[in-house]
Amino acid sequence: MRGNCLKRLFYIGIGLLLSFPLFSMTYYTMVRTSTPEFCSSCHEIEPAYFAWKTSTHVNNARGVVADCMDCHLPAPHDTYNFFFDKTMHGIKDVVSHFTGGAETYDRTVQKKHAYASIKNDQCLKCHRNLEYIPNKRGAMLAHRAVLYPRPGYVYKCTDCHRNLVHLNVGYYRYLELQPPYRSTGLPL
């Protein structure tokens, strides 16, 4: 009886000794591979990285930076989907890199896939107070239609806001120096 108890304690101890480094290495790898600089280390992603760097998601009066993970991956508190999506994005990019690289990487197609995969929750992590925009009644009504959709009228943030981040401009566009923003509206 005492032998079984010692055996169990031994296996629990071995499990803890093995799981701590494994968890630590996994976490360290996820943190190191979750930076925009790491994403841009692939030549295929580099143009998107430079377009992001010149966008208002980096350069704004509030000093807030929305990086790759904020838009392209689910919130980290959704652990399973976060790890799954991060792994799938990584595999897709590595396969693209080794099967043709930048020559076969079609940014237009990838942009369409990205807009289709970005969920409203990913935008709403940062953009929370969308119902109360002073002096912009049309924007408030449009945002309410997205936040509280009627049956058959479900919209995504990216339906109207496609022209914010990954645009090819050769200069930094600071939000406070730009004219008031107007979305593109729903595609016709």
Q: For the segment 129-138, what is each residue's pLDDT rounded down to a tens digit?
A: 888 877 888 8
Residue 65 main-chain phi, psi, to 5 deg:
-120, 125
pTM: 0.70
Q: Which long-range contacts (CB under 8 A, 24 or more apart) does 82-87 make?
A: 83/30, 86/30, 86/33, 86/34
> What does the pLDDT average to over 38-43?
79
User: What is the model's pLDDT at position 171?
Assistant: 65
> What does the pLDDT average to over 169-179?
65
Is residue 125's pLDDT more than 80? Answer: yes
> In which element (H, E) is residue 173 found?
none
User: What is the model's pLDDT at position 177?
Assistant: 66
Burial of 157 by CB count in 10 Å (0-12 exposed, 13-18 middle, 19+ buried)?
buried
Is residue 176's pLDDT more than 70? Answer: no
Residue 75 main-chain phi, psi, to 5 deg:
-60, 140
Place 1 in a pLDDT band, splitting at 50, 70 and 90: low
User: What is the model's pLDDT at position 115?
Assistant: 83
